[in-house]
Amino acid sequence: MSTQGTEPNTFRHPRVVGNALRIAETLRAYGPRTRAELVTLTGLSRPTVSSALIDLIGAGMASETATRSTTKPAGGRPPSVVRLTREAGVAVGVDIGRRHVRVAVADLGHTVLGERATRTTFESDDRPIEVLSLAATLIDQALADLAVRKSDVVGVGLGIPAPITRDGTIGSPALLPAWAPLRPSDELAGRIDLPVRVENDANLGALGEYVWGAGRGCADLVYLKLATGIGAGIVLDGRLYRGAAGTAGEFGHVALDVRGPVCRCGNRGCVELSAGGRALLAHARVVHPELTDLAGLIRYAEAGDQGCRRLLIDAGTQLGFALGSLVNLLNPQRIVLGGELGAAAHLMHEPLHRGLAETAMAAAVSAVDIVRTDLGTRAAALGGVALALGIDTVALATA
């Protein structure tokens, strides 16, 4: 069973019906909320919300605890917060990268319960069936770690390093030709017998940082996944922005030089050719042929290797140039630097700012905060959890 559309699998439980179900769906998407917030979000009256919560709490599906706020309302008691419990179910996120698979599990109250990750001995770009089978095994192991039954899983969010259309297919076959004939959600769902939603990994990185990381409380956010390739996840006015076809955010394929070398996407002079991990490693291996990953390149740069430092500084400058147009168009409040190269944000930050200042309006540059990821390489897997929870369908920052 698979779900390619924009809507998550609905909350189902025989003891949760009517208004209690409506409250449960709201808590699933928005996370822990006060009673007053539930009244606002659902449009139900306070007595109706209270009655529904009696049913949910009585069924063990929700709990209510006092906040730690030092300020008290007029009544004298701090407001309590309602959250769904593990009894209500769990959600799973999966991030498939070029050489890794990561799985995260959270309850419907937005508490992360556990994670598993592994490096692959092959490139997932070329062997989709094998990496999806590995992902299925990792999901089973993560659920077993937590003693979670599959019947308790409400959904799975899957991240793929390629543009994904709204019907769940690969949006640019040239980027992942081996994946092009597949529907990734169908392939994974067939292996785990659970509903699966699929999304671009940078979009999931944006969701992960938006809910649990450096993007919390930020209504206008751009997440840059700087890894083997480069992608962007965009949150506008509190909602994930996918574009008309679902392929928005292909930042790595913005052309910096229309007469430059041909990119794997078929265009010329793309950002990935000067700032992507593939290009950086290819240059670094001229002097350091033993390098196998970006972490090694960053270690050399931090240890003072001038060639590796120069590569990262130049990459930061090129990213800044490319970001100028995006910042002028979207005027984001925050840009989060993530992915494997996000670990080099301290080396790239100043040249990126310099490049951005040369290509973007001063007001837009002064309004944007460029920060390092809080979640690191966990962002996309946690974003997969957010996708399974349906967080992409609501506007948390404006709630």
Q: Which domain holds residue 289?
A: 216-373
Residue with tokens 């730690």: 68
Co-location of 298 and 181 in the same domain: no
Co-location of 192 and 223 in the same domain: no
Of the residues 43, 67, 87, which one is the last residue of a structural domain? Answer: 87
13 in a domain, yes or no? Answer: no
197 in a domain, yes or no? Answer: yes
The CA distance from 131 to 139, in Å, is: 12
Co-location of 56 and 156 in the same domain: no
pLDDT of residue 3: 47
How far is the CA of 251 from the CAs of 208, 225, 271, 384, 387, in angstroms?
A: 18, 9, 7, 20, 21
1 in a domain, yes or no? Answer: no
pLDDT of residue 317: 96
Co-location of 276 and 324 in the same domain: yes
pLDDT of residue 319: 95
Co-location of 34 and 175 in the same domain: no
Of the residues 67, 87, 107, which one is the last residue of a structural domain? Answer: 87
Q: What's the structural domain count of the chain?
A: 3
Question: How many CA atoms does the CB half-sphere of 390 hold within 13 Å?
Answer: 21
Q: Which of 222, 216, 249, 248 is nearest to 235 (CA)?
A: 222
Co-location of 74 and 148 in the same domain: no
**Domain CATH number, residue 194:** 3.30.420.40
Co-location of 122 and 184 in the same domain: yes
Co-location of 83 and 94 in the same domain: no
Low-confidence ranges of the chain (pLDDT < 50): 1-6, 70
Co-location of 121 and 181 in the same domain: yes
pLDDT of residue 68: 67
pLDDT tens readout for residues 202-239: 999 999 999 999 999 999 999 999 998 999 999 999 99
Co-location of 223 and 327 in the same domain: yes
Co-location of 276 and 356 in the same domain: yes
C-beta contacts of 327-331 below 8 A and 24+ residues apart: 327/356, 327/360, 327/361, 327/364, 327/365, 327/368, 328/359, 328/360, 328/361, 328/364, 330/220, 330/222, 330/234, 330/236, 331/220, 331/364, 331/367, 331/368
pLDDT of residue 5: 45
Q: Cα–chain-centroid distance for residue 260?
A: 31
- What's the burial of 79, exposed, middle or buried (CB within 10 Å: 0-12/13-18/19+)? middle
Of the residues 87, 111, 126, which one is the last residue of a structural domain? Answer: 87
pLDDT of residue 4: 46
Co-location of 385 and 347 in the same domain: no
31 in a domain, yes or no? Answer: yes
φ and ψ at residue 246, rounded to 5 degrees: 95, 5
CB atoms under 10 Å from CB of 14, counted, come to: 6
210 in a domain, yes or no? Answer: no
7 in a domain, yes or no? Answer: no
